Amino acid sequence: MHIRQRHLKPIAKFSIPYLFFSIGIAAVSTIWSVYMNSFLNNSSLVGFLTSIFIVLEVLAYIFLIPMIEKRNKVKLLIICLLFFAVSYLLFSVYSNIFLVIILGALIAVATSLRTTANGLIVRDSSESYNVSKNEGIIYALLNIAWFVGPLIAGYIASTYGINNVFFFASAIILLSVIIMNFLKVKDDRKTKDIDKHIFRMIANFFRDKNRVLIYIISLSVPFWWAFIYVYMPIYIIDSGLSSFTLGLFISGVTIPLIFGDYIFARIAGKKGFRKLFFTGFLSLGILAASLFFISNIYLILALLVLASISVSMIEPTIEAYFLDITEEEERDKYYGIYTTSSQLGTLIGAGAAAAFLAFLPFNYLFLLFGIPMVFFAFLSLKIKESYESEKK
């Protein structure tokens, strides 16, 4: 076993525990908005509370950059995962809104550290010519997790209750930590020149036109996922469908991503990024906006699953593009700033939808989330093209 371990590539070693803890996080994410709604009984309030958590996450991304730079990324990730496991265990035993608010805020901070550590471990396990390929592998595994996790969550929630979903997630995340230690996952790269001037780093980040463009474009996918993972679960349950149906839908959304993320990431590495961005955004925008005119919930769910083909052209390639245009010595300081785009996109999506729902029916959300994708399509044509295949 030890001989086989030594022959595993770094990205392969990390991929195995990554799959397990992603299943746990996906399971909780499937029922999280429904769980909060059981206390708040208002989808708009769920959106606003989610927005508050995201603000905390964004602030953590920015102000914890020095910690990311000087800490071992694998050890930091393990600490975050242990905190997730303990928090989910508490949710499985205790159910009250105060615990949701307190632990939800702390989980938001831990999420920022976990996401940054994940991204840097993947990049440090890659060569300059295969970042897109490895990003495609990671996103494919992430989407396998988002296929398996929601199915398990839907079954557990409908059969044994939502609280037991948290217990399952806690157990599988602990298992991922054990696997990570067994496989001796490492990230020994250290930042030699730690920059503690946060606001100067932010200013320098946004001085580069191409970084600004990809940052804005990076708002798009989390903006879309805010709709799918925050509001669609509440819509499905309020429409009289079961928790198991919710799990089937969330799993179904990931099926095109499992295959598409890896395929399109490889294409981007060889053929460039711009055409994929444009095609993905434009098709997603047109499909989403068309749902405004449809009333059959089953047809809506089926078309949202189909929309994931468009998302798979965008999701893994955006981060790969950013990492591709960023020099190694700038990676630690700028990656944390870049990843705030994910939380900012989710914040805008959750907050805007909450405001819409305070005054308008749910079907207007299809226009809210569809029309901006057309804007992103034309904005993506302005980025500087990059070809990883030329860097071998």
Per-residue pLDDT reduced to its tens digit, 228-258: 988 898 888 888 888 888 888 988 888 888 7
pLDDT in tens, 68-92: 666 677 888 888 899 999 999 998 8
Q: Quick one: pLDDT at residue 223? A: 92
Using a pLDDT cut of 70, give the percent of the chain over it: 83
Using a pLDDT cut of 90, give the percent of the chain over it: 19
What is the 3-state secondary structure of 294-360? CCCHHHHHHHHHHHHHHHHCCHHHHHHHHHHHCCHHHHHHHHHHHHHHHHHHHHHHHHHHHHHHCCC
Q: Quick one: pLDDT at residue 1? A: 35
pLDDT in tens, 145-165: 888 888 898 889 888 888 899
Does the 8-186+195-391 domain belong in CATH 1.20.1260.10? no
Dmax (CA) for the chain in angstroms is 62
Mean pLDDT, residues 173-181:
89
Q: Quick one: pLDDT at residue 45? A: 83
Q: Quick one: pLDDT at residue 166? A: 93
Q: Quick one: pLDDT at residue 183? A: 76
Is the Cβ–Cβ distance between 234 and 292 less than 8 Å?
Answer: no
CA gap 360, 317 in Å, rounded = 34
Q: Quick one: pLDDT at residue 391? A: 52
pLDDT band at 285 (very low <50, low <70, confident <90, very high): very high
Residue in 226, 162, 169, 167 with CA at minimum distance from that of residue 31: 162
pLDDT in tens, 290-318: 999 998 999 999 999 999 999 988 877 78
Q: Quick one: pLDDT at residue 3? A: 35
What amino acid is encoded at 143 in this protein? N
Is the Cβ–Cβ distance between 268 and 321 less than 8 Å?
Answer: yes
Q: Does pLDDT of 129 surpass 70?
A: no
Q: Does pLDDT of 6 surpass 60?
A: no
- Domain ranges in the chain? 8-186+195-391
- Per the prediction, the chain carries an average pLDDT of 81
Q: Quick one: pLDDT at residue 201? A: 78
pLDDT in tens, 21-74: 899 998 998 888 888 888 887 777 887 888 888 888 878 767 776 666 666 778
pLDDT band at 10 (very low <50, low <70, confident <90, very high): low
Identify the H or E element spanning 277.
helix 274-290
The DSSP line for 97-156 is HHHHHHHHHHHHHHHHHHHHHHHHHHHHTS-TTSHHHHHHHHHHHHHHHHHHHHHHHHHH
Q: Does pLDDT of 195 surpass 60?
A: no
Q: Does pLDDT of 359 surpass 80?
A: yes
